[in-house]
Every structure is written in C-alpha cells, then in structure tokens.
C-alpha cells in the first residue's frame, strides 16, 4: 500500500557515537524523501562527529574514526539537510525517542533553525511494538518477507523502515493511511519537547515527565522552586528541552 500523503515525508536513520541524546553525535545519516506523487530521493552522508567514536559503537555500525576523519562536520551540511527536509513530515524507527531528538540537538548546535512543531512524526517502531513487539530485522521479515541485509547501515535501515510502514498499512485494517493518524498512533506521549521530559497532561497543560516533579505543571514548579530551572539549564539535558523550558518561563513572565 502506498502512503496517502498531504505533505512529502522523509524517513531517516542515524548512526551515532552512542545513545545519549544530549552528548553523542551523528557519524552517518541517510534520508529517504518520498514526494506526494510517490517519487523518492535518497541522500546519505558520513559525518565527522568531532569526537572519538567508542569502539563499542563502531562494532555495531561498522564506522570507525578513520572512516570519518575527512568527512564534513554536521554544521557544514546542516543547511542542506534542513532545505531537503523543509515542509516534510518525518518518519523513522525509534525516531521519536532517539533520532529526532538527536538531530534536533545537532541543528541547534549548528545554529540552524529547523522547525519541528508543525510536523507529523511517525515512529514505525512504536507501531510495530504496539502490534507485534519485535526488532527492525524481525519486522522486516514479518511484514515484508525478506531478510534485512546490511542491518545497522543507515541507508539499509532507512529503506527497510519505509517498506515496513507500507506493509503495516496493508497488514492492519485498523491503521488509517493518513500521516496525522499514524503520527498520533505511533506516539506514546504527547511530548512538548522532543525527548519527552515535558509532556501535555489531559488538560493540555505542560507537566514534567521525570523526577520529583513528574506530573506537576511546569509553571507551578517554576513559581514554587525557581532554582529548578537553573538546575535543568546547567544539567545534562538536551538543548531542545532547555529551549522549550526557557520558552515556558518567558511566556509565564510575560503573562504577569
């Protein structure tokens, strides 16, 4: 089944130095752009992360320091990537929890304003886990009837993710061929920031989603414990989370 698109959509996958959204960096990115008419474009980049790649990570994705020493740094390609993804919804595998928050961090560090709020995010892993609870390789075999060759190669994983989503639409009648529906279905929380540290409650109020203030309105915490803002701004939190928190603080200040 082909996707019913109102906007172009990009599926992307990252290979990185590790799994910490706030501190790790991209070493490879592959983007599959699907246009409304169904035509496709693929771009794949090796990226110099400007830090050593841990051996444990290299053993997973097969990319070593030597492979990226002459590659461009993310800041060099950031504007090109932003233009390529402009106006597109976004899909990926485990992308809501990892790939999207991490690439948002990279764009912020590169000082490129890449707007996230108006896009729909489809996380194929979430759909899969809600339906079957397995890995990408298992999903590819289950839905597409094929073995995933070159797993943990960014381009192979990206294309497999796109194929799995189309097969999921064929497999489950209850899945609507609509990006807005799939975006909502593939999200466990209504995140305010990309990492899910701040979410909307059932009253559409921003609340913290971690720590001692889990479930408490952000504005109440900023009012009663103003030092918490400084603790988060100086802590190991994603830049995008800090940006969202600052926007809430400024909004609260302007309303006084």
Please say if the pLDDT value at position 46 is more than 90.
Answer: yes
Q: How far apart are CA 87 and CA 38, in angstroms?
A: 16
Q: What is the pLDDT of residue 118?
A: 83
Helix axes 100-109, 239-254, angle to 10 degrees: 80
Mean pLDDT along residues 220-243: 96
Q: What is the pLDDT of residue 29?
A: 98
Q: What is the pLDDT of residue 180?
A: 95
At 170, give phi and psi (nearest 5°): -70, -35
Contact yes or no for 157/93 (Cβ under 8 A):
yes
Q: How far apart are CA 48 and CA 29, in angstroms?
A: 11
Q: What is the pLDDT of residue 28?
A: 98
Q: What is the pLDDT of residue 164?
A: 96
Q: H or E element: which one contains 199? A: strand 198-200
Q: What is the pLDDT of residue 187?
A: 82
Q: How far apart are CA 157 and CA 150, in angstroms?
A: 8
Task: Write down the domain spans for the chain.
Answer: 9-185, 198-254
For domain 9-185, the CATH architecture is 2-Layer Sandwich (3.30)
Mean pLDDT along residues 107-113: 96
Q: How far apart are CA 121 and CA 133, in angstroms?
A: 19
In the numeric block, which tokens belong to residue 245? 């928190």
Contact yes or no for 15/67 (Cβ under 8 A):
no
Mean pLDDT along residues 194-208: 94
Q: How far apart are CA 96 and CA 99, in angstroms?
A: 7
Mean pLDDT along residues 180-193: 89
Please say if the pLDDT value at position 107 is more than 80.
Answer: yes
Half-sphere exposure of 78 (CA within 13 A, CB side): 18
Q: Quick count: other Cβ atoms within 10 Å of Cβ 108?
A: 17
Contact yes or no for 197/237 (Cβ under 8 A):
yes
% residues pLDDT > 90 (the chain): 89
Contact yes or no for 169/122 (Cβ under 8 A):
no
* Count of all residues that appear for the chain in the document: 256
pLDDT digits (tens, 9 = 90+) for 77-88: 999 999 999 999
Q: Which residue has the tokens 């979410």?
A: 199
Please say if the pLDDT value at position 133 is more than 80.
Answer: no
pLDDT digits (tens, 9 = 90+) for 51-91: 999 999 999 999 999 999 999 999 999 999 999 999 999 99
Nearest to 177 by CA among 5, 40, 34: 5
Q: Quick count: other Cβ atoms within 10 Å of Cβ 97?
A: 20
Please say if the pLDDT value at position 188 is more than 90.
Answer: no
Q: pTM of the predicted model, to two decimals?
A: 0.71
Q: What is the pLDDT of residue 88?
A: 97
pLDDT digits (tens, 9 = 90+) for 15-30: 999 999 999 999 999 9
Mean pLDDT along residues 191-214: 94
């Amino acid at each position: 089944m082909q996707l019913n698109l109102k906007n172009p959509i990009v599926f992307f996958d990252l290979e990185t130095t590790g799994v910490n959204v706030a501190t790790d960096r991209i070493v490879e990115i592959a983007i599959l752009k699907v246009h409304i008419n169904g035509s496709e474009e693929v771009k794949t980049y090796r990226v110099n992360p400007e830090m050593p790649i841990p051996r444990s990570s290299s053993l997973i994705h097969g990319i070593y320091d030597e492979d990226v020493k002459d590659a461009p740094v993310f800041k060099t390609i950031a504007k090109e990537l932003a233009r390529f993804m402009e106006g597109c919804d976004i899909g990926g595998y485990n992308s809501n929890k990892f790939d999207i928050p991490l690439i948002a961090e990279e764009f912020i560090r590169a000082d490129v304003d890449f707007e996230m709020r108006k896009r729909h995010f489809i996380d194929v892993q979430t759909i899969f886990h809600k339906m079957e609870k397995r890995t990408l390789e298992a999903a590819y075999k289950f839905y597409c009837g094929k073995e995933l060759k070159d797993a943990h190669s960014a381009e192979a994983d990206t294309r497999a993710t796109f194929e799995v989503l189309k097969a999921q639409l064929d497999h489950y009648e209850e899945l609507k061929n609509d990006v807005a529906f799939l975006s909502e279905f593939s999200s466990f929380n209504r995140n305010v920031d990309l990492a899910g540290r701040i979410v909307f409650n059932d009253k559409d109020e921003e609340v913290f989603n971690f720590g001692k203030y889990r479930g408490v309105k952000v504005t109440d915490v900023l009012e009663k414990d103003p030092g918490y803002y400084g603790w988060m701004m100086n802590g190991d939190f994603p830049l995008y989370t800090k940006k969202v928190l600052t926007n809430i603080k400024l909004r609260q200040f302007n309303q006084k």
